[in-house]
Each structure stands twice: as structure tokens, then as C-alpha cells.
A and B are shown apart, each in its own frame.
Chain A
């Protein structure tokens, strides 16, 4: 019986000596194959007396299963070793950069458009539009600016000749403000009205702070009981939401626009230093928008009875809002298409603005 014990030792040693799957298979055949040693031993039992045969059979079966188990373990070890060797050969330098991809940007003007729409949308406004080339009725007359009104000169107007008329008053204009959308909205829709109208506007002015094209957003609210107190509430809610501040000092100054009465300009509190502008704190004031109660002549021009309905309107510069919120120093650079500027001041393609998900910084970081 010593024989079997030493046999087992010898066999297990043979199994563990296998260094790869090939020598492992040779070992398996040598032990368990048709002519393997264990198979031979089992065949040789036939000559033994019955009692010994039973005893020997038991022992050889135990030996066989032990060897089988050892072979399985060894095979798993060898397979893992081989895989590891393969993986090791496949190693790459993962510090190398990835395949080039180009990441685009959204222009600040589009970004502010989306932010403004998100905020006013939350207050129940819809978005209205109007054409860039306007007739003088919609751009001026209907807004309480008859011909020769001095306010027409506040806005250096671009004109486009009207082929059907030699009269200068019939020539078209490239709209000087988004206010004509007020009239177009009233022509289209009965009160209650709650719209904002963002868009391109044009004035013949080109210097450090003026470009011949810029962007405005107009607001119009008409209903039966809308007062100037609502105007103040609405715009206060807007500036807080827009600048993403819990509170912001505001002040209103009486002003003049032909299409509103009373008219006002709204300032927000800020701190101006040589290199920085901090919104929402400090002792300085920054003009941000013009507003007022819609002039009865404007309501009449839009076919609305000013004794029945009243409301407010406001207008502000989209580019200016972008400059203030995102610290962009020069208006002229907005329209220069300099790729360095577009990359730097532009926004991530997935930076969507909403009141549910937040107005800014939702698009991930730049790559």
C-alpha cells in the first residue's frame, strides 16, 4: 500500500511540473489516458484476488479523483498564466492622448436668448417674433413716434428704399428696436398678452460701445389690472433669476420712451473697480433696461381699448446682458467670428438653460 502513496506523490509532482497547457495535456495523457498509468493499474487489478481487488479498486479510484482534481487546478493556473502573459504583451501607453475630436460652442447671444426665454417662460410668457426689415408704421408711427418726432433721431436708422414710392416716409427701415413686435403681437392676438420678443436690431452707430447690429429682447404684458407695481415685480424677479442671485439692489429712474408712459430705466447695484465689475453689491449703479406702462396711443395702434386694458413693456440689450453676466469686455468682439474668442466665451453644446436644471454651467467642462 505504500506503493500507492508514493505513486500519488510521484503523480502529483508530474502534474505540477507541467509549465504550459501543452505539457499539462501530456501529463494528463500519461496519467489518465487510455494507456495512462492509472488506467494501466486499473486494468492490472483483474489478476488480484477478490478481496484485494475490492480494496485496490477503492484506493485507485481515490487516487484517480485526486489526480483529476490536481490536473484541473493546474490547468486553471496555467490558463491564467497564459492570459496574463498575453495581456502583458498587449500593454499600451495609456498616457497617450485620445483620438482628436472637435468640440463646438454656442455663441453667448444664443445662450442669453435661452436664459431669458427660460426665465420669462416660467412667468407665463410666450416668444413672439417680427421681421428685421420693417415699415415705418410698425417701427415708429404705431409706437407713438409720428414723422418728425425728435425721438426718431435718438435712433440712427438704416433705411431701405421702397420701390413703389418716392416718398421717404414710405421707405422701409431695418428695425431700430424690437418694439415693433409689440404692435405685430397686438395685431395678431387679443389680451391677455404676455410675450417676450428677442431678436436682431440695427442702428447706424459704430464705436467702442455701439455696433450697427445688436440684440434686444422686448417684453409686453397686457391685461385688465396690470399696474406699474407688476412691472417692478416682474423685472425684479427677472434680474434676480438672470444673475442667479438671492437678492440684488435695484432702482428705477423716470425716463422717456415715446411708447410708454410713465417710463423708467432700471439700474442694478454693482461694484465697479478698475478691472472688475461685481453685480449685486456695492455702491454703484448700472443701467440695465428701459420700461414703462404701455402708452394709450400704442394700445390704440394695436387695436386695443386703453380704457379696458393696460399693461407694461420693457426692452433690454441681450449682448449687454451677456457682457455683464459673463464678463465679456468688448461688444464689437461679439461679431468678429474670431475662433479664439468663440472658443473662450462660447458655451458647451449641451449647456441647456432652464429653470428646472439651472441657467448656466450645465454643459460640462470644456475639452
Chain B
């Protein structure tokens, strides 16, 4: 909401300057977004007198002036038609910044004649719209003084209006708030009641008083819409960015911004028959003044004549029956519409207008006759014409809201004492009618306030007037001693992130949305969770997995020249559309080489075992049973079928890992191998809450462990984990560790076989092993592994 200071002063008697007004507005909840003070950019401009005027020797419209700026007389070339000898205007000497062009005046040569400055128009100074000629100041204006001192500049303030303060969408509402804050006195409205001299030939019938409680119409005949809108009105509208169009349009705009009171004016000669206010018929057509056609529904309110809907009530006028320069007879509408109907229709058909904006917030339900009178007064003042009697259907019988305030609640709710008298004074200034009832203040809302429903609403009115800065800051008292700030489930997400970062991965955050085209392969269920109104087609689905977004990141980083990547994200994945059908996951990708070239150390491509290690590390960081995880080879189809797996706890999948399927990578436009993992943190059981934090006693054996290696030859398809498990099982008491240290396929081995070499650790418990005991253990391993896997010693 914008307004100029002169407009404000139409309603507010005040001596306060722009800065004080702006500061107060913010303090009382009308947040100032910008103060535009044209005086601020008038530095350099001075008043100057045109002492001589000659025609330019080489032009039929340019003049060559001798201009006296109080210090010297300079030659200036000027094209303004209103320029004459003896006039006093505003002069821009060389070096002055012209606000309208954002350019500095230089010494110029115009058709061979030198010019040392410029005589300016209002528009060039950025203080008005007038560009028909240069500014002419009164003849007694002193010469050589700064222009800002003599020009009537009108600063403009822009404030943001919160949805509860609809009355401040009119300048009068803002003036009232400032007056209540002690910044001046609210002036009385000067609206004259004009009696009609004939009965309106157009009658009004409201069919739905729920949607339109009251409709007031006035017929004015013989208006001249070619008349000039008065300068003061044009200037005020221009100051807030509204172009003058015609007196009839200007008047409706003016009243809309002056009293927050929307109006509509029909060209009465274009209307056929009477006006009916009714719900639209399903599919009924309406063409707006923006020339867009809508097929309405039966919840939309139309203002209709015999030919159909001519205005979408409270939202927008129609194309056909509006006013033009040739309009002679008009019908002026001032009505009240149900905010819910307006909001629904506006939202459904996506029509925004100043009128809708006001109606769906709050329009003073008792301003219909008043608004009508105001419109009639301004129209006839400007355009002439003869006014009909008022044509009205419905009643202006709104019952204002009532709320109660217990004065002691100021202290117990906001922490400041405000006396009952002070509270009453503030409320009265804001237009509330107050009385006392059982020690409470009863406050009847003014009709322009629709937002006061309860005690807290009244408290807010008082607080914003006494100032939030009067409330002391009190440190929150210490409540009960908190057990744990983060739950174990929340804390482990943090730990997993730090673990993965510590493993050299960069944490990223990507959208919870993804592209349904590439997400398809990653869905966990048949159905996609698609947005009704995505912001772009690429962000139209709630992501079923973190991976597609990470793959997009991989592609983008490769394109930027960074092919060696290790990225992860922890966040939600969605498996259903109902609230809560999501789990917390940690997903990561690695691709390219483990590092840049190096003279030392192994630099190799990332492979599936890096992803598996990440998954196991994440499970471990989440306090999960990583050592007991079963490894199965049934990862989803977006993984390489031979290089992927799942880490399970029975039926529960804690993680998937593997190389991404090359066919999937192709859809993302990625040409290099990518390994990935996804850990479903919600599927990892939380450790049991144990009250005994003491650890199991450490038993140290006094006897040295023994290292032994065994190499087996086995069918290629036997999983290594089966050999390890069988070896461990051979003697659970004495075999404390089994590791695979070599896997070999190829020469010297029969077709379809592989060799797996394991390192065993035998731990004696009672006495150092004898050679015979060690031999027995090795035999046990050989037999058990052979039994379980068919392996034979190599």
C-alpha cells in the first residue's frame, strides 16, 4: 500500500515530518517498506529566470535562452512550448543528475548551439507526471535558491499491510492509526449527501443476500467523461503508480485507495434491463475487462443485466458494459460482498484485483451508502451530470463485533501494566466504543474492523499503541531439568551425517521434490506422489528416494568439470501420500577416482565395496547391528544386478548398496560408473534402553593367539560369506576372527571354480596350543567349510 504525504494530510492534521511518520508506522505495525522522497534527489537544481528568449537559428521549435541562476547568466537550448521571457523555472546546471533519465547533464551542442544546462519539467525531476512543458514557478519566487525549497514535493511511503488490517488499505485507515498513536488529529470526512432528482431507470434486485447483503446503485445522466481529472487527484494517483485514465476510472481508483471502498461504474446505456445480483449458472460465460473469458460455476457471484453476467461481483468488471470516453449515462455500484464467496471465486479462477484484495479481507459493511455518496459527489464535481435517487436492495444492518478486556491481563499476558484509562483512551482513538462490565472493558468494534474477536485481539491493539519496546525482556525461567534434547532417533541422524562426512563425503541438501520422469525407476510402490501444482515439471513428485536427486547432482558436477565425487544427503523419502508416510534416509553416491593422481598411495575407481562400506558405516553410526547384517543380492532393479546387495535384519532392509544400473544412468545422461547406497534409518532398530550402562567385564587371555591361513577351491557362485560363516562355526570358542585375504579365478583352476583364501585367528583359552591342537582346529575348519560349501583345500 502506497500513499503520499499530501494525501495522508487530507485525513490527518499533523506537523510530523516524513521521517517521524515512517518511524511511527513501523512501530504500530504498519511496516514501512520504502520511503520515496523526491526532495532527496533534487540536489543541484536551483530556481532560475529566463531573461531572454530567441528562436534557434536552425530549428522551428527550439529556443535559445539566457538563463539567470542567481550567480551568472548562461546560454541554454530549450524545446518546451511554454517557455517565455521572464518566467521562473527549475534549472539543472551542468553536473546535475536528472532523476528521470538517471543521467548527468553535460555541456551540450544542439544543432550547433552550445547549451550549459537544462530547464526541467516535473517528470524530469521525478516529482510528477507532467511533461507537457517546463515548470513555471510563481513570479515572486526568488532566483538561485535550491529547488527543493520552493517546489511542492510530495514524499510517498510504501507500507506492507497485514491481512488483518484491511481498513489500512485506505489512506483514511492509516491516518486513524497514526492519530491513535499520537501523531496528530483525524479530520472529519467531508462527504455531502446529494439528493436525487429522478428515479433510477435501472432497478436492482439481489437474489442471494448471503453473498451480497446490500447493493446500492445511483444513476447519473449527462456526465462528461472527457473532462479533465483534477490535478490533485491525478498527482495522488500518479504518486502511488496509478495512471490517470478517465475521470470515472480515476474516481473509483481514488475512493478504493482513500477509503478502502471498492466501486464499479457501468455505462448505463450499454446495460439491458435491470440489474440482478445472483449466483452464476454452471458454465455461464463471463468476459473480463482484461478480455479473458471464464466459464463460471454456481458458487460465483454475478452482477447481471438481461444479457448475462456483466461483472464478477467484487472481483472484476466485464469487457462489454464498461465506460469509455463517450460514456454519457452511468450506473454507479457500491455494494457489500461475502468475503468467502469472493476469496473462493478469485482463487478458483485466479483473478487478482484491488477490489478482490479488499473484499476478501474486510470492507466496512456500513460504507455502502457513504461510498456511493462520495462517488456521486466526485463524479458530478468533475464530469457534471444529474443524479438519481438511491436504488438499493438489502440492508446495511451489520452488527459490530464485541470483545472484552480485563485490564489486569495486560500484566499477566504481555508483562506490562497499562492503566484502565489508558486502555480505554487507545481503544476509543481507534474507533472502539467502550463501556465497563463487571470490571472488564467491553469494546464494540468500529465497523471498519472485522478482526477483533477476543481479548488477545484487544491486547494487541493496546500493545502496538504503547509500543512493544515497553515490554521488558525476561529470561525464560528454568523449567524442569531436560532429559535429552534430541531423541535417540534424532541424534543418530546427526551422528550418521558426521560419520559420512568424516569418510570424505560432502553433505548436500536437495529438494524433497524430484522429476517424475526419472523418479519412476526408484518408486517403492506403484503409485507416484505427484503435486497438484508443481512449480516446474522437473519438480513434480515427492521423492521416493534420495538417489535420483543425487544423480542429477552427479551429472551437474561432472558437467562443471568435477568427475570425482562423493556426495550424501540425509532427509525424507516418501512412500505414501498420507501424512507420516515417509522415512528418514541417508543416501550417498560416489563416482570417478578415489582421488586425483598422486605419487603415493592407491588411486583407483570407486567400486561397489566403497558403497557397501559407506552403508555399513552409516548403520554402525546409527547404533545399528552392522555386524549381524545379512547380505543378500536382491537390491532394486535400478542397481547393477551383479554388483549390488541389501543389508538386512531378517525381513527388514536396513540398506541397499551397489553400482547404479547403466541403463538408469543413461537416462540421467551420466556416462561413468556411479556407486550408491541408501540407508533407511527408520528400519534400523534403536538400541534397547538399558539402565545398566556398565560394560561386560573384559576377559584377557594370557595365551598368545595363533595365525593360520587356509586356501579353498570352491564353485564360483558360492558366496564368500558362507565360507566365513562355516569357518567361524567350526569352533566358535577358539576361532575369534576369519578374514578373506585373497580371491582368485582363472589359470590353474578348473573352469567354474574360484580360490578363496582365509586368515584365521585361533585363541587358546586354557593353555598355549600344541601343534596337534592347531592341526585339529585346521581340520575342523576344513571339514565344516567343505560340508557347508563344497569347498576343498587348494
Contacts and interface: CB of A to CB of B under 8 A. Distances in A.
A277 interface: no
Contact of B485 (A106, A121, A337, A352): A121
Contacts of A102: 504-505, 566, 594-595
Interface of B: 26-29, 31, 162-165, 339-340, 343-344, 347, 360-361, 412-416, 454-457, 459-460, 463-464, 468-469, 471-482, 484-487, 490, 494, 497-498, 500-513, 529-536, 539, 542, 549-550, 552-553, 556-557, 560, 562, 565-567, 570-572, 574, 577-582, 594-596, 598-601, 603
Contacts of A346: 506-507
A202 interface: yes
Given A99-B598, A99-B601, A132-B572, A106 B562 contact: no
Contacts, number: 278
Interface in A88-125: 96-107, 109-110, 114, 117, 120-121, 123-125
A131 B460 CA distance: 32
B162 A221 contact: no
17 contacts: A102-B505, A102-B566, A105-B507, A106-B498, A107-B508, A110-B494, A133-B580, A148-B343, A200-B572, A206-B535, A212-B513, A229-B414, A252-B469, A262-B463, A296-B455, A337-B556, A340-B562
A256 B415 CA distance: 20
A296 B456 contact: yes
Contact of B509 (A100, A194, A229, A334): A334
Contact of A229 (B31, B343, B472): B472
A154 interface: yes
Contacts of B506: 104-105, 339, 342-343, 346
Interface of A: 96-107, 109-110, 114, 117, 120-121, 123-127, 129, 131-135, 138, 147-151, 153-154, 158-163, 171-172, 174, 192, 194, 200, 202, 204-206, 212-213, 221, 223, 225, 227-230, 232-234, 236-237, 251-256, 261-265, 293, 295-296, 310, 334-340, 342-343, 346, 348-350, 352
Nearest to B483: A126
The prevalent SS among residues of B at the interface is loop
B427 to A, nearest CB: 15
A225 B477 CA distance: 10
A133 to B, nearest CB: 5
A228 B476 contact: no
A263 B503 CA distance: 45
Contacts of B27: 253-254
B533 A124 contact: no
A31 B785 CA distance: 64
Contact of A124 (B480, B504, B530, B557): B480
Q: Which 7 A-B pairs have the closest CB atoms?
A: A102-B504, A229-B415, A254-B29, A256-B162, A99-B601, A121-B485, A337-B553
A229 B478 CA distance: 15
A295 B567 CA distance: 43
Contacts of B567: 337, 339, 342
B501 A349 contact: yes
A101 B596 CA distance: 10
Contacts of A352: 498
The prevalent SS among residues of A at the interface is mixed
A12 B157 CA distance: 107
A22 B327 CA distance: 127
B529 A160 contact: yes
A97 B204 CA distance: 90
Contacts of A293: 413-414, 456
A127 B414 contact: no
B478 A124 contact: yes
Contacts of A149: 163
Contacts of B574: 132-133
Nearest to A251: B469
B193 to A, nearest CB: 33
A12 to B, nearest CB: 48
A360 to B, nearest CB: 15
Given A133-B577, A148-B340, 16 more contacts: A100-B595, A104-B503, A104-B505, A107-B509, A124-B478, A125-B482, A147-B340, A162-B577, A206-B535, A229-B414, A233-B475, A252-B468, A255-B162, A337-B549, A339-B567, A342-B506
